[in-house]
Amino acid sequence: MNDLPFSMMEYAERIHQTKKRMEAEGVEVLLLTDPANMHYLSGYDGWSFYVPQMLVVILEEEQPIWIGRKQDANGARLTTWLHPDHLIPYPDDYVQSTHKHPMDFVADSLTQIGQWDRRTGVEMDSYYFTAQAYERLRRRMPNARFQDCTLLVNRVRMVKSDQEIQYMRKAARIAERAMHAGLEAIAPGVRECDVAAQIVHAQMSGTPEFGGDYPAIVPLLPSDEKTSTPHLTWTDRPYKQGDTVLLELAGCYRRYHAPMARTAVIGSPSNLVRDLAEVVIEGLNITLDAVKPGITCEEVERVWRNSIERKGWLKESRLGYSVGLNYPPDWGEHTASLRAGDRTVLQPNMTFHMIPGMWFDSYGVELSETFLVTENGCEVLATFPREIFQCPFGSGMVHPLGESGA
């Protein structure tokens, strides 16, 4: 048996829950191209998602079928629980060809096993399922009745098992070390890319007890005026005195993520940054205290909105989202969002990334926490001071500006 991250009992339950949803949607065959969903149901884990690959779930079949590039078939054999008969590789002349497409092979394979005319679900809004892929399937399987099942497995994934939660707790330990490494490295004259390198080293090396995995998103490190926006990475620009730096990163363990964001300043923060940080930290603390089973996502967001509105502030973007297992380019699960209008009810063992960042024309402040919904409230997975930080540290210690809110 391969070194699977979960027990066979857990995989069997995941397949069972997926098939229940398939039946509810009237789907007989489910074609999964999202690598996180493929991993969730089969264990498959490889950097092969840059070419078409698929996991096929058939209602009557006990095991799914993996279809992928021939040179990746041994990867499927080494990382999944599937029987070798359920691994179907396509030849390399299908790869990036101008006249053949891997979905031609997929359609032919499904036809050969009698699945050519069934109610077939596809992940229409997956990063990894292109318009060309869909057209080739439709053309090759004209009698199949296709329907969108983009989030079918994602919603099964929302409530985590005890083992998944243990992996996310380990990811949080790695996130703490990576954040500490980034904060320790920031100083006048140090290049942004060298700080990123320290963070990535900490993410990969993990802890003495367990190593890290590559996160679905690289470290996000906007500085100076670029703190007005959250999703910039780094350059080779040296930091200078007075810079504000946003650090958003994640620890990752066995593909499970625990994201965290903090804000640092080189020297003393401006009044704008200090005042905004106070509002963000207070709102984050109040909102985390309000989390409990039975509350809806929009009710969580309303607590945050009411908190900052009392201080005269407004945040238009969502407050957070469901998080856990994933692959590039995103660690979010694409299901529930902490925002107005989302009536998803929080349940124990759901996990979210709450990120009350505030970005304006020339500056911003960002802090975030990954939390687990518990039976009575929530557990913040990382233990790290909930403050803005003053750099350089010099003494090798983390120096928050003010008292910790963690």
pLDDT at 140: 97
Neighbours of 271 (CB within 10 A): 8
Q: pLDDT, tens digit, for every residue of 214-258?
A: 999 999 999 999 999 999 999 999 999 999 999 999 999 999 999
Could you tell me if 127 and 99 are in contact, meaning their C-beta atoms sit under 8 angstroms apart? no
| pTM for the predicted model, two decimal places | 0.95
- Report the CATH number of the 162-391 domain: 3.90.230.10
CA distance 345 to 350: 10
pLDDT at 146: 98
Q: pLDDT, tens digit, for every residue of 121-137?
A: 999 999 999 999 999 99
pLDDT at 393: 66
Segments of the chain scoring below 70 in pLDDT:
1, 393-406
Question: Tokens 């074609």 sit at which residue?
Answer: 31
User: Angle formed by the axes of helices 8-25 and 35-42, to 10°?
Assistant: 120
pLDDT at 392: 86
CA distance 149 to 156: 12
Token pair recorded at residue 228? 């007005």
pLDDT at 2: 80
pLDDT at 397: 39
Question: Tokens 């990954």 sit at which residue?
Answer: 370
CA distance 78 to 181: 34
Where along the chain do its domains lie?
A: 8-157, 162-391
Classified by CATH at the fold level, domain 8-157 comes out as Creatine Amidinohydrolase; Chain A, domain 1 (3.40.350)
